[in-house]
């Protein structure tokens, strides 16, 4: 590890939209950052990039809320360890070096990661970094000689590629990474921003957006400019391509702060709203700033304490972030107002079991959430003993019948609200008796130096060791799913007889393990888990059941926008005959992002795609009991699925036209009943109609809501 004694501690702001450029003549402030999902990520920070005849320099003042401390990581001998905490990254790719980039990762601990591309043997000059922390501010200067970058001072008009990125760690949201370029891959130079040396910024780039955020039901914006003061401005806000709000304002001392009300009557459920901010000279109409990004709509506008309400719950408790005079109403499925709230709760007494919608509204905005009142606590009881797992027609089966698995990954603490919540034994809380056991033999040791890899012994040592371990279970009539590897996409190395580490092909290695095990215990069902979708085709042949997660949906803060696309990719790449268990993030990416509506929609979409279950990732800590609505959904969704899954899986598909933005499917069961599942892929409330008799015309769906219709087949 390279440690700089002058380093005491960083936090980062935000970014510019994709395609924006930085003009250095000789300096420029750096604007708002963006997450790789496109969401603006503002914050309290001041960043400036500048250059001289000898150095490229980044000056930063980064601020965290009073009382918060920087969460640092880093230890001697392990450069990668800095990425275990907060880190500021700077990547620069000089012109004429065929995509070579130089990577700096700075930790508040005083340690720094440096590499030429991924080669950590590269060392910059020892005096490139100065840093200090004053209370809740981190001041640092990274000044890199051009000679360290194997480059001459850039000529006027020369274009380099650059990325600035910040990973923030907060107690409520976990790790949030945002960058200047909005890149999804910080090692892909083609995703970086352009830096143009020796040129002034043209019109339309002289003012920069520094912050854009949602505060309750208001949009807040902050702009800065090093060139202009006391300038009359016109702010225009566009959402989904439509002009939704304007504001006249004056920039004073190089800063403009403005706010606008949310321009939507019906507020969408947690989602991203494609937006554009345009700033013009109010007198001349001259374009001064045009910045595109995504406004994240949070679920905090209206929060309920549960998803399923049962006997023993006295009231529906809620809170909202709407301002002004607010009316809260409870509707039944026919959109009839059942009750109106006078405080922060609605009594449950007298409500018949069924689906309800709670709605809060002021003069500008309306927001709603769905809930269910159950006639009793779900008590499914033990599963039948002596049943084993098999695979048939692309489905995982138990006792010869298709089974839909639902369970949590291992977690430090669990707070389930019902006792029979899961039929997969992975985490142990609230699991039904005789549940399917997810077993995982010890794998290779994970190393980070001299490179990241899992280390295994050579040849057939590991497969034969596993074969011997599994033979002892052959006579047990227990439903057990054996996982060969978790995150199998991690690079693999073999340690030979003299201790030398030799990189190996993980695809070939895992396929050999699987083939050896199937010869030894052919009746055993094996899975492999990956969270790298590009490797689906590599690892699908090395297992009976594929466990898959996508960072673009499963583990994203906004799960739904890419979920349907990602599920289609699994079917395409794994093939129709491969059972799939689709992972969903519970505490990944953090403890605060996931909401009940996302999980329920994802489960129903998984069923529509013919998957064999879901595992909810609950690692990296635990989901606190205060997230009671999500815990309610996690505790009750298995019982909801069990109420129809056997008939659904055995049914025969019938043709039905499903209108956008819905996805759906209908089957005719053995009894002649028709089951129709429809899922609203939109974050907005939408009406649904279809040609099947018995489906209410213009049936109202809340954002991301699935519904099951039971229809007469006559």
In the predicted model, what is the mean pLDDT of the chain? 89
Comparing CA positions, the residue from 685, 598, 689, 709 lying closest to residue 331 is 685
Asked whether residue 108 falls in the same domain as residue 181, the answer is yes
Residue 54 lies in a domain: yes
- Provide the token pair at 467: 């074969």
Contact in structure between 368 and 302 (CB atoms under 8 Å) = yes
Q: Indicate the pLDDT class of residue 202, thresholds 50, 70 and 90.
A: confident
Mean pLDDT check: name the lowest of 184-188, 349-353, 604-608.
184-188
pLDDT of residue 7 exceeding 70, the answer is no
Q: Say what the pLDDT of residue 300 is.
A: 75
pLDDT of residue 131 exceeding 80, the answer is yes
Q: Indicate the pLDDT class of residue 567, thresholds 50, 70 and 90.
A: very high
Asked whether residue 600 falls in the same domain as residue 688, the answer is no
Q: Say what the pLDDT of residue 10 is.
A: 25
Q: Cα dihedral angle (91, 94, 98, 101), rounded to 10 degrees?
A: -20
pLDDT of residue 509 exceeding 50, the answer is yes
Asked whether residue 253 falls in the same domain as residue 330, the answer is no
Asked whether residue 471 falls in the same domain as residue 620, the answer is yes
Mean pLDDT for 98-106 is 95
Distance CA 31, CA 246 (A): 21
Q: Say what the pLDDT of residue 95 is.
A: 96
Q: Indicate the pLDDT class of residue 483, thresholds 50, 70 and 90.
A: very high
Mean pLDDT check: name the lowest of 212-216, 510-514, 606-610.
212-216
Q: Say what the pLDDT of residue 270 is.
A: 80
CATH number at residue 592: 3.20.20.80
Mean pLDDT for 650-662 is 96
Identify which has the larger pLDDT, 217 or 374.
Answer: 374
Residue 382 lies in a domain: no
Q: Say what the pLDDT of residue 618 is.
A: 96
Q: Indicate the pLDDT class of residue 15, thresholds 50, 70 and 90.
A: very low
Mean pLDDT check: name the lowest of 143-147, 495-499, 610-614, 667-671.
495-499
Query: Of 347, 373, 399, which residue sits at a domain end?
Result: 373
Q: Say what the pLDDT of residue 226 is.
A: 67
The total domain count for the chain is 5
Asked whether residue 638 falls in the same domain as residue 693, the answer is no
Comparing CA positions, the residue from 543, 584, 463 lying closest to residue 535 is 543
Distance CA 604, CA 677 (A): 8
pLDDT of residue 171 exceeding 60, the answer is no
DSSP string, 604-665: HHHHHTT--EEEEE--SS---TT-HHHHHHHHHHHHHHHTTHHHHHHSEEE-----TTEEEE
Question: CB burial class (10 A; 0-12, 13-18, 19+) of residue 391?
Answer: middle
pLDDT of residue 237 exceeding 60, the answer is yes
Q: Say what the pLDDT of residue 125 is.
A: 92
Q: Say what the pLDDT of residue 187 is.
A: 86
- Provide the token pair at 319: 């809170």
Q: Say what the pLDDT of residue 227 is.
A: 62
Asked whether residue 453 falls in the same domain as residue 591, the answer is yes
For the stretch 269-321, pLDDT in tens is 887 778 889 989 899 998 888 888 887 776 678 999 999 999 778 999 999 98
Distances in Å between the alpha carbon of 659 and those of 199, 605, 689? 52, 16, 8
Residue 522: strand, helix, or coil: coil
Asked whether residue 183 falls in the same domain as residue 263, the answer is no
Q: Indicate the pLDDT class of residue 213, thresholds 50, 70 and 90.
A: confident
Query: Of 170, 201, 232, which residue sits at a domain end?
Result: 201
Q: Indicate the pLDDT class of residue 44, thresholds 50, 70 and 90.
A: low
Range of the domain at 655: 651-711
pLDDT of residue 6 exceeding 80, the answer is no
Q: Say what the pLDDT of residue 20 is.
A: 63
Identify which has the larger pLDDT, 565 or 17.
Answer: 565
pLDDT of residue 205 exceeding 80, the answer is no
CATH number at residue 39: 2.60.40.1190
pLDDT of residue 17 exceeding 70, the answer is no
Distance CA 488, CA 401 (A): 29
Asked whether residue 641 falls in the same domain as residue 662, the answer is no
Residue 28 lies in a domain: yes
Q: Indicate the pLDDT class of residue 2, thresholds 50, 70 and 90.
A: very low
Asked whether residue 574 falls in the same domain as residue 700, the answer is no
For the stretch 412-454, pLDDT in tens is 999 999 999 999 999 999 999 999 999 988 788 888 777 888 9
Residue 379 lies in a domain: no
- Provide the token pair at 274: 């494609």
Residue 463: strand, helix, or coil: helix
Residue 461: strand, helix, or coil: helix
pLDDT of residue 517 exceeding 80, the answer is yes
Asked whether residue 293 falls in the same domain as residue 317, the answer is no
CATH number at residue 229: 2.60.40.1940
Q: Say what the pLDDT of residue 124 is.
A: 95
Residue 424 lies in a domain: yes
Distance CA 164, CA 41 (A): 13
pLDDT of residue 16 exceeding 70, the answer is no
Mean pLDDT for 197-225 is 80
Q: Say what the pLDDT of residue 180 is.
A: 84
- Provide the token pair at 506: 């993980």
Share of the chain above pLDDT 70, in %: 94
For the stretch 240-263, pLDDT in tens is 788 988 999 888 877 888 888 887
Share of the chain above pLDDT 90, in %: 59
Distance CA 701, CA 703 (A): 7
Q: Indicate the pLDDT class of residue 66, thresholds 50, 70 and 90.
A: confident
Residue 380 lies in a domain: no
Q: Say what the pLDDT of residue 228 is.
A: 60
| CA terminus-to-terminus distance, the chain | 73
589 cis-preceded (ω within 30 degrees of 0): yes
Q: Say what the pLDDT of residue 8 is.
A: 24
Query: Of 201, 222, 252, which residue sits at a domain end?
Result: 201
Highest-confidence range of 73-87, 166-180, 349-363, by mean pLDDT?
349-363
Residue 395 lies in a domain: yes
Asked whether residue 553 falls in the same domain as residue 660, the answer is no
Mean pLDDT for 143-163 is 96
For the chain, state the CA radius of gyration. 28
Mean pLDDT check: name the lowest of 131-140, 155-164, 689-698.
131-140
- Provide the token pair at 88: 């500021």
Q: Indicate the pLDDT class of residue 14, thresholds 50, 70 and 90.
A: very low
Q: Say what the pLDDT of residue 708 is.
A: 98
Asked whether residue 258 falls in the same domain as residue 164, the answer is no
CB-side exposure of 661: number of CA atoms within 13 Å? 16
CATH number at residue 339: 2.60.40.1930
Q: Say what the pLDDT of residue 28 is.
A: 86
List of residues 6+ apart from 476 with CB closer than 8 A: none
Residue 381 lies in a domain: no
């Amino acid at each position: 590890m390279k440690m700089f004694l002058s380093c005491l501690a960083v936090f980062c702001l935000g970014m510019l939209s994709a395609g924006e450029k930085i003009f250095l003549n000789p300096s420029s402030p750096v604007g708002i950052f963006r997450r790789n999902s496109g969401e603006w990520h503002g914050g309290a920070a001041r960043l400036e990039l500048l250059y001289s005849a000898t150095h490229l320099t980044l000056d930063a003042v980064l601020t965290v809320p009073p009382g918060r401390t920087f969460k640092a990581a880093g230890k001697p001998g392990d450069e990668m360890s800095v990425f275990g905490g907060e880190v500021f990254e700077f990547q620069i790719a000089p012109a004429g070096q065929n995509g070579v980039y130089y990577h700096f990762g700075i930790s508040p601990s005083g340690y720094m990661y440096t590499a030429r591309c991924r080669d950590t043997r590269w060392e910059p000059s020892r005096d490139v970094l100065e840093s200090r922390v004053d209370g809740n501010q981190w001041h640092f200067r990274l000044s890199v000689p051009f000679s360290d970058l194997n480059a001459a001072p850039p000529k006027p008009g020369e274009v380099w590629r650059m990325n600035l990125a910040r990973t923030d760690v907060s107690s409520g949201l976990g790790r949030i990474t945002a960058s200047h370029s909005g890149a999804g891959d910080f090692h892909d130079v083609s995703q970086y921003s352009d830096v143009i040396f020796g040129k002034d910024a043209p019109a339309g780039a002289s003012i920069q957006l520094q912050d854009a955020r949602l505060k309750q039901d208001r949009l807040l914006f902050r702009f800065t400019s090093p060139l202009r003061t006391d300038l009359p401005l016109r702010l225009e806000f566009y959402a989904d391509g439509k002009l939704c709000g304007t504001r006249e304002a004056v920039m004073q001392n190089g800063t403009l702060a403005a706010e606008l009300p949310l321009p939507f009557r019906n507020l969408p459920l947690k989602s991203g709203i494609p937006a554009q901010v345009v700033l013009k000279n109010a007198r001349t109409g001259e374009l001064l700033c045009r910045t595109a990004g995504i406004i994240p709509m949070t679920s905090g506008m209206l929060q309920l304490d549960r998803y399923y309400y049962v006997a023993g719950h006295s009231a529906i408790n809620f809170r909202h972030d709407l301002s002004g005079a607010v009316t809260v109403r409870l509707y039944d499925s026919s959109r009839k107002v059942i009750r109106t709230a006078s405080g922060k709760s609605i009594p449950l007494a007298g409500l018949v079991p069924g689906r309800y919608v709670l709605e809060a509204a002021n003069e500008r905005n309306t927001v709603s959430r769905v809930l269910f009142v159950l006639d009793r606590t779900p008590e499914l009881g033990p599963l039948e003993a002596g049943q084993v797992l098999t695979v048939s027609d692309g489905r995982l089966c138990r006792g010869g019948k298709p089974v839909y698995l639902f369970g949590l990954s291992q977690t430090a603490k669990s707070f389930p609200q019902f006792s029979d919540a899961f039929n997969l034994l992975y985490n142990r809380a609230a699991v039904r008796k005789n549940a399917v056991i997810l077993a995982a033999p010890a794998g290779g040791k994970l190393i980070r130096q001299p490179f990241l890899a899992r280390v295994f012994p050579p040849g057939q040592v590991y497969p034969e060791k596993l074969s011997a371990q599994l033979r002892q279970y052959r006579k047990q009539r227990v439903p057990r799913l054996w996982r060969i590897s978790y995150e199998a996409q991690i690079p693999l190395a073999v340690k030979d007889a003299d201790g030398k580490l030799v990189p190996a092909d993980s695809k070939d290695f895992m396929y050999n393990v699987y083939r050896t095990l199937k010869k030894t215990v052919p009746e055993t069902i094996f899975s492999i888990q990956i969270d790298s979708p590009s490797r689906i085709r590599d690892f699908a042949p090395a297992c009976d059941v594929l466990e898959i997660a996508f960072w673009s949906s499963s583990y994203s803060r906004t799960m739904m926008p890419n979920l349907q696309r990602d599920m289609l990719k699994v079917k395409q790449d794994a093939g129709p005959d491969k059972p799939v268990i689709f992972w969903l993030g519970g505490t990944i990416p953090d403890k605060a992002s996931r909401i009940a509506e996302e999980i329920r929609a994802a489960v129903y979409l998984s069923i529509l795609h013919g998957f064999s279950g879901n595992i909810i990732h609950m690692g990296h800590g635990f989901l606190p009991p205060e997230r009671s609505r999500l815990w309610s959904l996690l505790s009750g969704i298995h019982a909801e699925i069990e109420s129809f899954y056997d008939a659904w899986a055995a049914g025969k598909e019938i043709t039905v036209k499903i209108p956008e933005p819905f996805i759906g499917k209908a089957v005719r069961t053995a009894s002649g009943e028709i089951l129709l599942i429809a899922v609203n892929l939109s974050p907005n409330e939408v009406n649904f109609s279809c040609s099947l008799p018995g489906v209410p015309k213009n049936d109202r769906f809340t954002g991301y809501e699935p519904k099951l219709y039971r229809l007469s087949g006559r």
